[in-house]
Amino acid sequence: MSDRGNSPKDKVGDADDENEDGSRGGDGVDDSVALAAELEKVGFNETRVQHSPQAPPEKAEKPRQDAAIDALAQELYEGKYKNILVIAGAGVSTAAGVPDFRSPKTGLYANLGRFKLESPTDVFDISYFRTNPEPFYVLSRDLYRDDLQPTCAHRFLQLLDRQGLLLRLYTQNIDGLDRKAGIRDDKIVEAHGSYASASCIACREPCGMDMVLEHMRSEPIRIPKCGVCSAFIKPDITFFGESLPDRFYELLPNDVERADFVFVMGTSLKVMPVAGIVSLIDKNIKRVLINREMVGDFDHRRDTIFLGDIETTTSALHDAYSSLLAADSAPSATIAP
């Protein structure tokens, strides 16, 4: 989630900057500068990435989708790319039935009327949570579901990881389906946190999610409190007003320099600082967009673009790449003497 602090690290978005999907994101230019400043603190300088001189921007090529999928699968099979960086958003999990928690237009917020919130998304504001955590837990009853299964997109990313091609997955999702799909923990950066763990908002004492779920699903809802200091406990989701996980800033500088290929899928590229990752990548590196609509500057460069249903595209990529791998491992035919 985006964030409303004052420092570069803490400012992920302004309270008044709300995107069409209900998510909040700050001004792209200002936030890109803030992200660059924060990364420089941990030893990353964008000038260290060699950006080759570019020809005037061109419209992206639009090859026939099947041919483009086969060509990309062939490149993956041939080992052309060794360090694939992925930026994933809510669209990756939509097919699993994960509701868009950031959008006030969804039915998720319908039962919060009695709380008379100034804005429905205040339930994800840490200042509000400190005084009244109940709306968040009411919403979480519908938001957190342990019966959800990974999508084709998750399975495709897991295949990349299994083949040793995945450098890192930067996900904006909090559903934990990446991990459930079998992607290794060290390959995942949950930029907005997740429901996988919980802790005290005051002393940071860890708390088991089983206890949190027991309280959340009780009738009436009981708010879990810390056994050490009695402050409220919340899942380790990044609320507005909280910093992104340290892991994001620790890994990003090196990942940006090592990446030799970028997938962007299921995201509006509007919520900083995750959206700013794309601008830090060497301009010569191949980028592939898998999305329902055009985002960012992808229509100004010679990138590969798949617009439409994300499940359809990732399923086709998974099958095409898997077929090549299977053919390679099949035993050779022999002629009997």
Domain ranges, residue 139 = 101-144+195-237
Q: Kindly state whether residue 231 falls inside one of the protein's structural domains.
A: yes
- Give the tokens for residue 119: 């804005």
Q: Kindly state whether residue 140 falls inside one of the protein's structural domains.
A: yes
207: annotated binding-site residue?
A: no
Q: Kindly state whether residue 37 falls inside one of the protein's structural domains.
A: no
Distance of alpha carbon 110 from alpha carbon 142, whole angstroms: 11
> How many alpha carbons fall within 13 Å on the CB side of residue 326?
7
Please give the DSSP secondary-structure letter assigned to residue 105: T
Cα–Cα distance list, 147 to 96, 98, 101, 143, 194 (Å): 10, 11, 17, 12, 16
192 is catalytic: yes
What CATH number does residue 117 fall under?
A: 3.30.1600.10
Report the predicted TM-score, pTM, of the whole model to 2 decimal places: 0.78
pLDDT of 177 reads 94
Q: Kindly state whether residue 134 falls inside one of the protein's structural domains.
A: yes
Q: Which of 51, 154, 192, 318 is catalytic?
A: 192
Q: Kindly state whether residue 266 falls inside one of the protein's structural domains.
A: no
What are the pLDDT tens digits along the chain (337 aa)? 444 333 334 433 333 343 433 334 444 555 555 665 566 655 555 444 444 444 444 545 444 678 899 999 999 999 999 999 999 998 999 898 876 655 555 555 666 666 777 777 788 899 999 999 998 998 888 778 888 899 999 999 999 999 999 999 999 999 899 999 999 999 999 999 999 899 999 999 999 889 999 998 888 889 999 999 999 999 999 998 888 999 999 999 999 999 999 999 999 998 888 989 999 999 889 999 999 999 888 865 578 999 999 999 999 999 999 999 998 776 655 444 4
The total of structural domains in the chain comes to 1
pLDDT of 105 reads 57
229: annotated binding-site residue?
A: yes
Q: Are strands 84-88 and 193-200 parallel, antiparallel or unpaired?
A: unpaired
Q: Kindly state whether residue 110 falls inside one of the protein's structural domains.
A: yes
pLDDT of 140 reads 86
Q: Kindly state whether residue 284 falls inside one of the protein's structural domains.
A: no
